[in-house]
Structure formats: C-alpha cells, structure tokens
Amino acid sequence: MKRMTRTRAALAGGLAVAALGTLVAGVGVAQAAEEDGRRGKAAVMPGEREIAGLFDRWNAALRSGDPERVTDLYAEDAVLLPTASPRIRTDHVEIADYFAHFLEKKPRGEKIRSEINVLDADSAIDAGLYRFHLTDPKTGVTKPLDARYTYVYEKRDGRWLIVNHHSSVIPS
C-alpha cells in the first residue's frame, strides 16, 4: 500500500509540473501575441528581397538629387559613417549636410555583393560591396568608386529606416 501511495504522489507531482510548464509556456505565447497585437499585427519576418529593396529605395533617393529625401530614410537617432567624409554624422542636420555635398557628384550606386541577415521581424543588416559612379562637378568626368557598406535597418511605426550606415572605400 505504501508503494502505491508513493507512485500516485510521484505521478501527481509530475502532472503538476507538466501542467505548470504548459501554463507558463501558454502565458509566454499569449504575451508575445499581445505584444504583436500592440504593434498592430502579428510579427512577419521580412524576406531577403524586401531588405535588398531598401538599397534600391536609398539609391533612388540619391538619384533624386534631394538631400532631404535621402535623409528621410534615416532614423532620427541614426549614425552615418560616410564614404567621403571623416566626420561621424549623428542627426538629421548632419546627415543632410553630408548628402548635400555628396549629391553634387551625382552618385549612382550599384551593389557588387550583398550579404543580408534578417535578425527579426523589425531589424535586418545588409552588408557588402558597392560601386558608385561619381561625376566631378568641375570636369563632368564620371569615375567609379568601389566601397564596402553596412546598413542596419529597423522597422519603426511600420516603416523601414536606416539606423546605422557605414561606408568606406575598399582598401587597396
């Protein structure tokens, strides 16, 4: 009889632990769903194509010649380590100033190689190599400039923004 009581007690204890585990897991799932609901919809992981398209959007903004249009693609707290300047840019005024000068060269970018890492539904990294075709404003001569890049994107209020952008000339 003692042996049967111990078995029942162990079984009851095991069931209680399993039930508690199920309850905790359910609460975790409910909290995640509630958090997604507060953002307006269930979290959907972006595809690599969507992230790659963010460069095309940025490049189109460059080709517009409008520094404000380019700067609008950056978060208010973005950091820009630009290709053609030693200064780190950390707000919209500084970023717009950089692009006002850079756009005088009529830049046209093309990706050479891209490595995309989707981190979660609201953040991704695109890093690789790109080539700019830059026109000297004085001579009108266009020359290529190869550089490496990293874009860190975050989706904020439903819109993908650049939060960190590093670009540097490829060392020889």
The predicted-structure confidence for 73-111, as pLDDT tens digits, reads as follows: 999 999 999 998 999 999 999 999 999 999 999 999 999
Taking alpha carbons only, the member of 140, 144, 40, 13 closest to residue 83 is 144
d(CA 16, CA 161): 47
Query: 157 Cβ partners below 8 Å, 6+ apart?
Result: none
In the sheet with 74-81, reading across from the earlier edge strand, the strands are 74-81, 159-169, 142-156, 123-135, 108-120
What Rg, from alpha-carbon coordinates, does the chain have?
Answer: 25
d(CA 135, CA 121): 38
With contact defined as beta carbons under 8 Å apart, do 120 and 153 qualify?
Answer: no
Taking residues 48-65, report their average pLDDT. 97
Compute the 3-state secondary structure of the chain and give helix, strand, coil in percent, each to the nearest 5: 40, 35, 20
Taking residues 55-81, report their average pLDDT. 97
On the question of pLDDT at 53 being above 80, the answer is yes
> How much is the pLDDT for 96?
97
> How much is the pLDDT for 125?
98
Supply angle C-alpha 45, 160, 151, rounded to 5: 95
The pTM (predicted TM-score) of the whole model is: 0.75
> How much is the pLDDT for 42?
67
Residue with tokens 């093309």: 110
The predicted-structure confidence for 137-165, as pLDDT tens digits, reads as follows: 999 999 999 999 999 999 999 999 999 99
